[in-house]
Structure 1
Amino acid sequence: MGKDEKEDSGFGFKDKAKAEETLKLLEQHDPNYRRLTVRGLLGRAKRVLSLTKAEDKIKNIKEAMAVFENWLAELDAGKEKKPDKKKEEKKAEKKEDKDSSSDVEMEDKEEKKLPADKVPGLGFKDKEAAEGTLKALEGRDPDYQQLAVKGLLGSAKRVLTCTRDETKLANIKEAMSILEKFLDDFDTNHLSKQNNAYLSLGIVRTAEKSAGDTVTEQQRAFIAAYSSVNGEYKRLRTVEDEGGKTWDIVRNAALKDLKEKHANAKLFNDKDEPTAEHLELLLWAYSPEAAKVKKVVPETKEAKDRKRKSSGGDESPSKKKKE
């Protein structure tokens, strides 16, 4: 099972979030490679399921598989139709006014209101671009840092195959050496272990209620930011606090201090409720015992659910808190 769960390529299926990041990373590859990779991951996921007994892990893998299966279904559907572009454009123009208030278009408009989930300014054209990339990634989620750098290296290798300019080739190779060293150091220092996986927005809201007046202004601001992106944690990479830092960086800095402070703290009381120390971590959407938290801490849902299109077909959190 160990080999099937290795994700050295940056691709994976351990949960829905990993599957979605995999599809994002695959956007840089050609369609045939994407299709083959996704099918390969589905095959590996099925093998892992046959050997796994943990219910949480089985649930997470199945959610990841649903993301991939829906993606393949949409891809196949688009391939079967093969519409004539010119005819489709004419039809779209005629129907534009009629469909302007359709559900699909309304969902698209809502999606566009959300901030981006990719850090801007990443590149590999030369040494300066590579160094700027690493600077832009500092303090962010280690898993994202690794994925982003691997994605850039993959793009750089493809650019090298179709570039003839010697100066450009030399510049890209120099940038690649910097990015490759980053990955070597990343593995040597086991930075992936420092990744602070996010808990759902519903659990954070429950923790906020339980913590009452002990919630700090910064924690409330984080929860507001997390709510503003509908619990899609990747979008916090481009949402800034009042000081100009993005919330993923602010969160990691806060958690670094709290994890050291509460390294030996008791996380649950005799009633399996989070302790005050544990609540401090939960307010930042994190727990060292995430699996247990998901079992014993109920989610506080918003008053009105709004369905939104997603690769996994799930419902996204809606905009109003349950009172």
Structure 2
Amino acid sequence: MGKDEKEDSGFGFKDKAKAEDTLRLLEQHDMNYRRLTVRGLLGRAKRVLSLTKAEDKIKNIKEAMEVFENWLAELDLNKTDKKPDKKKEEKKERDDKEESSSDEEMEEKPKEKPKEVQDKVQGLGFKDKAAAEATLRELEGRDPEYQSLAIKGLIKSAKRVLTCTRDETKIANIKEATEVLEKFLDDFDSNHMMKQNNAYLSLGFARTALKLADSVTDQQKAFIAAYASVNGEYKRLRTVVEKDGGKSWDIVRNAALKDLKEKYADAKLFDKDEPTKEHLEMILWAYSPEAAKVKKVLSETKEEKEEDKKESRKRKSSTSDRESPSKKQKED
């Protein structure tokens, strides 16, 4: 892109305001053009920085680059393995310009491939204070690690949206929402909430506990069945709902473990390298305060594949035929 072309287009990076104007001007173009243009401007900005000594100019260009980098980071956050077709791309462009833009309702995007992911929690947003408060209610009881990631992602997106918005009412609403979310994070850190995160054991250990435990509740059996239904991908439990209670299994699990951790705070966890019955109650929820040792002393119970089940039934049937009196009489 030549100098005259750049100046005529109105795109630039001399300061933060220019970068923000550039992003607004780019909204009329397709996403691929916007992405390539922003990357090109970043490359030019870096070259200019290497040749510039004026501190004010360096500061302004770096602020402009930050605007572009945040914009690209947002694209990466929303990126999927499949490219949308032209119609979907045009629809997204139109949606991005509406006040109820998906930018304002986005949530933490997981890293798994879209076809494998079903862990998107609905109802997270930052368009105003009410949306932020609804977000916190939706996250209540979920894994602290997920709560932190989701809120940080929303705050980052809110700040990106603010750089591209001129509507004063919209700006004021988003800022109020951001204050609510930032306060949550401050309290989260002050109360050391991350220590309450119940890291998951793999499904195989829960299945092993199911074999070893003297008694298992229907709810624990249902949890293991739900865990198996998502192929042991614990993040997907966020959207799998318990039939009786109506809450997702990640919330049900955390509530159950809170009670068990209080009940067995002083309980012995191992007896001669074997998990105690109290410990097994927690492992049934795919959790252990001493996960590393559990992985050493317990083996995982894998689900028998359908082919293996058929082969096993076939072998049993064959053995039964060989030993049946009727067959022996026929052979005689």
Give the TM-score normalised by the residue count of structure 2. Answer: 0.58
Alignment of 1:2-21 (within 5 A): none
Query: Identity across aligned pairs (percent)?
Result: 72
Q: CA deviation at 1:305?
A: 8.9
The amino acid of 1:289's aligned partner reads E
The amino acid of 2:240's aligned partner reads V
Q: CA deviation at 1:208?
A: 0.4
Aligned partners of 1:227 and 1:319 also within 8 Å: no
Q: CA deviation at 1:116?
A: 1.6
Q: What CA distance in whole angstroms lies between the structure 2 residues aligned with 1:123 and 1:319?
A: 46
> Structure 1 residues 120 and 227, CA, compared in 2 at 3 Å: closer, same or farther?
same
> Match of 1:300?
301
Alignment of 1:1-323 (within 5 A): 112=115, 116-212=118-214, 214-242=215-243, 243-270=245-272, 272-304=273-305
Aligned partners of 1:226 and 1:236 also within 8 Å: yes
> Structure 1 residues 111 and 226, CA, compared in 2 at 3 Å: closer, same or farther?
farther
Q: What CA distance in whole angstroms lies between the structure 2 residues aligned with 1:223 and 1:216?
A: 11
The amino acid of 1:227's aligned partner reads A
Give the SS at the match of 2:155. helix
Q: What CA distance in whole angstroms lies between the structure 2 residues aligned with 1:121 and 1:137?
A: 9
- How many residue pairs were aligned? 208
Q: What CA distance in whole angstroms lies between the structure 2 residues aligned with 1:184 and 1:274?
A: 38
Q: CA deviation at 1:304?
A: 2.1
Which is bigger in relative contact order (C-alpha 8 A, separation at least 6)? 1
Listed one character per residue, the Cα deviations across residues 190-234 of structure 1 (whole Å, up to 9, x for unaligned) are 00000000000001100000014x000010010010000000000
Q: CA deviation at 1:180?
A: 0.1
Q: CA deviation at 1:115?
A: 6.8
The amino acid of 1:186's aligned partner reads F
Q: What CA distance in whole angstroms lies between the structure 2 residues aligned with 1:116 and 1:289?
A: 29
Q: What CA distance in whole angstroms lies between the structure 1 residues aligned with 2:152 and 2:262?
A: 30
Give the SS at the match of 1:131. helix
Q: CA deviation at 1:111?
A: 7.7
Aligned partners of 1:115 and 1:229 also within 8 Å: no
Aligned partners of 1:302 and 1:319 also within 8 Å: no
Q: CA deviation at 1:302?
A: 1.5
> Structure 1 residues 144 and 261, CA, compared in 2 at 3 Å: closer, same or farther?
same
The amino acid of 2:172's aligned partner reads A
Which blocks of at least 5 consecutive residues in structure 2 are unaligned? 1-34, 40-78, 87-112, 314-332
Q: What CA distance in whole angstroms lies between the structure 2 residues aligned with 1:268 and 1:126?
A: 50
The amino acid of 1:301's aligned partner reads K
Q: CA deviation at 1:290?
A: 0.5
The amino acid of 2:163's aligned partner reads T
Which blocks of at least 5 consecutive residues in structure 1 are unaligned? 1-29, 34-74, 87-109, 307-317
Q: CA deviation at 1:319?
A: 11
Q: What CA distance in whole angstroms lies between the structure 2 residues aligned with 1:279 and 1:305?
A: 28
> Match of 1:104?
none
Q: What CA distance in whole angstroms lies between the structure 2 residues aligned with 1:150 and 1:234?
A: 18
State the Cα RMSD in Å: 3.1
